[in-house]
Structure 1
Amino acid sequence: MDVGEPLEKLFHGTFSDVAKLISVEGFKPGRFGTVFFAEDLEIAKQFSTQALPLLGQRSSINRTAFSVIQLTVPVSIADQLEISYRYRRPIGEFTGSIYWEGYERILKQEYIQQLNDAIARRTIDL
């Protein structure tokens, strides 16, 4: 990572078992073919503990333990992936379900592999 480049911190709330899989296999598209990131740690925590149990994940996943993954992303890469500050959206606008106030970033399916590659190259800190 370029030491002088501005960075953005993004947070992904999920089940702890899924967080372990992400650290090994990378992010995968979710229910809407996307990956959602909160701008705020507390929002990601709320999502992981309140909304995730309602989403009907795979039965092999422990639905009682939650984690938040933090990404530190150089702004230039965030722009390429369309998850920089200028792509922020009010939480719930994309899905039509507003639970909290705040903003989120939505990684489109076509950029998920690029994000995973950048994490593997350590261009993005996970």
Structure 2
Amino acid sequence: MTRTVRRADLRAVGEVRRSLRELLRPGCPGDVVDVAELLTTELVTNALVHTDQGAEVSAVLDASRLRVEVRDHTSRKPRPYVPNADDGTHGRGLFLVEQLADSWGVDPLGGGKVVWFEIDGGPVLS
């Protein structure tokens, strides 16, 4: 699955989520789909809120893992932090990714970056 999200188009987050659900639903348990949707929503929203341009989202599912990548055009690396109670809901996105993904990272990409996560599932994702 590959989708392009235009700058500041937060409605597109739902479209990306639906596309991901269509990719995963046939062979994945509901809890895997739910976690993947949540983490993808967080990364796409971060790219749209914290950058001045759009983003490209890709998801690849194979027999043992799901990998989701969100590419944006800002080289500034995001940093997860543990939000405190006064933060409301702000700042929890990367914390959730860090806690729920099996692995995640940020890779520089010529004038931008790719923020990615993986969910391992062995035969669960096959």
Q: Tell me the TM-score normalised to structure 1 length.
A: 0.28
Q: Which has the higher contact order (CA 8 A, sep 6+)?
A: 1
Q: Tell me the TM-score normalised to structure 2 length.
A: 0.28
More strand as a share of residues: 2
